[in-house]
């Protein structure tokens, strides 16, 4: 295995982005989610269960705690940051290195990058897979999913889902898989 954690992300434990994004690109407002989608929370749990997750400090604070059944790596520049039940990294490469080690310990085949926008932007050039929930709504928000090179990916799954009883909107699950090689770190 390479000693470079970023090139290692292309290796045995790839990075997968998990995000719910509205039709206008919005993913959040006032450091919180902007919709109630129980079906998507269930999918998030399934996609991340038993895996290391990388998230930004703001997303961690919006969730408020380490989620069970997964290991959390929080990315922050704050040298004094600590929180119960999470590992802390002070840069994205360090976060990937920590998540790689955790994946080995957990026997996980994938590292889940779960936001927010700043962390998605850092992860996109290194991501092998995107699990998108396209939410059929156009809410106001202050955080958007970053632009990325869509041509580097092919769609391998699309599943339209009607609004369930505990969902505010209908949505479509889309899975993208990288076809072009990962760029240099």
Ligand X SMILES: NC(=O)c1ccc[n+]([C@@H]2O[C@H](COP(=O)([O-])OP(=O)(O)OC[C@H]3O[C@@H](n4cnc5c(N)ncnc54)[C@H](OP(=O)(O)O)[C@@H]3O)[C@@H](O)[C@H]2O)c1
CA-based torsion, 137, 138, 141, 143: positive or negative: positive
Q: What angle do CA 83, 87, 89 make, to 5 degrees?
A: 105
CB of 9 closer than 8 Å to CB of 99: no
| Least distance CB 107 / ligand X (angstroms) | 25
Distance in angstroms (rounded) separating the CA atoms of residues 164 and 156: 24
- Pick between residue 12 and residue 167 the one whose CB is nearest to ligand X: 167
Q: Which is nearer to ligand X, 64 or 77 (CB)?
A: 77
- Minimum separation from the CB atom of position 83 to ligand X (A): 11
Nearer to ligand X (CB atom), residue 163 or residue 179: 163
Task: Tell me how far, at minimum, the Cβ of 28 lies from ligand X, in Å.
Answer: 2
CB nearer to ligand X: pick between 7 and 62: 62
Which residues make up the interface to ligand X (CB under 6 A)?
19-20, 27-28, 31-33, 56-59, 62, 75-78, 90-92, 114-119, 122, 143
Number of helices followed by number of strands (H, E) in the chain = 5, 10
Q: What are the tokens at 27?
A: 């993913």
């Amino acid at each position: 295995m390479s000693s470079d954690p970023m090139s290692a992300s292309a290796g045995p434990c790839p990075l997968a982005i998990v995000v719910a994004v509205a039709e206008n690109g919005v993913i959040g407002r006032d450091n919180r989610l902007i919709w109630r989608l129980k079906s998507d929370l269930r999918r998030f749990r399934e996609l991340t269960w038993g895996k290391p997750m990388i998230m930004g400090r703001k997303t961690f604070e919006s969730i408020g705690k380490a989620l069970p059944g997964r290991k959390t790596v929080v990315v922050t520049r704050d040298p004094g940051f600590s929180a119960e039940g999470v590992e802390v990294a002070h840069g994205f490469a360090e976060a990937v290195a920590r998540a790689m080690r955790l994946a080995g310990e957990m026997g996980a085949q994938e590292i889940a990058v779960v936001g927010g926008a700043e962390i998605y932007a850092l992860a996109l050039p290194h991501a092998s897979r995107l699990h998108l929930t396209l939410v059929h709504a156009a809410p106001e928000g202050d955080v958007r999913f970053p632009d990325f090179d869509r041509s580097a990916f092919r769609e391998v799954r699309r599943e339209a889902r009607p609004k369930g009883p505990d969902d505010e909107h209908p949505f479509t699950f889309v899975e993208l898989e990288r076809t072009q090689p990962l760029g240099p770190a």
